[in-house]
Amino acid sequence: MSGIRTNAAAELLGVSPNTLRSWERRFDYPKPRRTAGGHRQYDLVQLESLRRALLETHNISSAIEVARQRGEGPSSPSRLLDAFDQFDEGVADRVLEESLAVRSVDRTVEEVLLPAIELAEGREGREVEWELACRWATGWLHAHRRVAPPSSRGHGVILFDSSERLDHESLHVQALELTIRRAGFKSLLLSFDLPPERVARAMRAVDPIAFVFCGGEATLEVLGRLVYTVRQVGSAAPVFEYRESMPVTGDHAIPSLGTTPTEAAERLKQYLDSGRLESGTPGSQPLTGSIRRSA
């Protein structure tokens, strides 16, 4: 086991030696060995694990709990973030390949890829790393979309994407489409602002069992136009929203598919099987109500 002294360990974590010793007293972690002379000798693997966990949590005790449970771990959002920060796409590939050895594609997307993108977003002076992360993630999602098994359910879902740029929300939309495909649905991802007459042709071709508004930048005007077109074509398929996409506050009439791709796919399947949606997570939208403009 490789070990380093207190000052170096504190430097690695960006804390003072006193803080490190206080964590040892309170949490018994990171736990150093003692040299023959009684000096603390910290395990590098523990320190690196804790450094990464600190990036993923909002408080010290959770970070220590994550580090303790995970150890070096097979793959984590912060390891993927490190790869982006080193501009090393090979390492990024490896992190997700390792994740796929222990997680499904869907869980890899939700537990590693999307959280890493979220960590990469909005950091001062890291715009280039952020762009690399977005482009790399897009490529990864598209590669897996291409090899998704053919539709087993025969039902189509049309997703209207209102995200305007390649960003965290746009990647969530792409992840949603991948998960929906992998759940056996046919999917068609369209821009939110397409002229309704063009969308009508796609609706006739796909004959969707559901429409999903996603991307976070929807406007009530365009939503109204699209819903009108949907009904004009004669489709009675329900309209859902994903990840609080609608520009409304308070109760409204558009049921939510939740905030994660697997939750959305599960709720779609549930809807198809039972003809109704059960209440979602505490953060999900209610299923009934009236549309109100946001303040």
Partner 1 sequence: MATLIKIDHSASVAHTGTQRFCSRCGEAGEPPPPRGRPLRERRVCEACGMGVLLSCSREALPGMGAAFIIATADLSVSAVSSAGEMLFGLEEDLLGVPLVSLMKATGGKERLARTVASAALRNRPPTVLTMRGLTPNAEAAGLLAARISTCQPPRGALITVGPANLTSL
Closer residue to partner 1, CB minimum distance, 176 or 209: 176
Q: What is the three-class DSSP state of 57?
A: coil
Q: What is the DSSP string of 247-272?
A: S--S--S--B--SSHHHHHHHHHHHH
Q: Is 61 in the site for partner 1 (CB under 8 A)?
A: yes
How many amino acids of this chain bind partner 1 (CB under 8 A)? 58
Buried b or exposed e, range 74-97, using 16+ CB within 10 angstroms = ebbbbbbbbbbbeeeeeebeebbe
Q: What is the DSSP string of 90-121?
A: HHHHHHHHHHHHHS-HHHHIIIIIHHHHHHHT
280 — phi, psi (to 5°)? -95, -155
Compose the 231-260 pattern: x for residues touching partner 1 by CB under 8 A, - for all others.
------------xx----xxx-------x-
Q: Which residue shows structure tokens 């929203």?
A: 241
Q: Is 62 in the site for partner 1 (CB under 8 A)?
A: yes
Supply the minimum distance, in Å, between the C-beta of residue 15 and partner 1: 5
Q: Is 63 in the site for partner 1 (CB under 8 A)?
A: yes
Supply the minimum distance, in Å, between the C-beta of residue 36 and partner 1: 29
Closer residue to partner 1, CB minimum distance, 106 or 169: 169
Closer residue to partner 1, CB minimum distance, 64 or 210: 64
Compose the 180-199 pattern: x for residues touching partner 1 by CB under 8 A, - for all others.
-----------x--------
Q: Which residue shows structure tokens 């207190």?
A: 6
Closer residue to partner 1, CB minimum distance, 62 or 104: 62
Supply the minimum distance, in Å, between the C-beta of residue 123 and partner 1: 7
Closer residue to partner 1, CB minimum distance, 14 or 150: 14
Compose the 107-126 pattern: x for residues touching partner 1 by CB under 8 A, - for all others.
--------x--xx-xxxxxx
Q: How many beta carbons lie within 10 A of that of residue 187, not counting itself?
A: 23
Q: Is 89 in the site for partner 1 (CB under 8 A)?
A: no
Q: Is 150 in the site for partner 1 (CB under 8 A)?
A: no
- Counting Cβ atoms within 10 Å, is residue 29 exposed (0-12), middle (13-18) or buried (19+)? middle
Q: What is the CA radius of gyration of the chain?
A: 23
Q: Is 286 in the site for partner 1 (CB under 8 A)?
A: yes
CA-closest candidate to residue 263, choices 237, 281, 282, 245: 281
Whether 217 contacts 162, CB under 8 Å: yes
- The binding site for partner 1 (CB under 8 A) comprises 13-16, 18-19, 22-23, 51, 54-63, 85, 115, 118-119, 121-127, 129-131, 134, 138, 161, 163-170, 191, 216, 243-244, 249-251, 259, 281-286
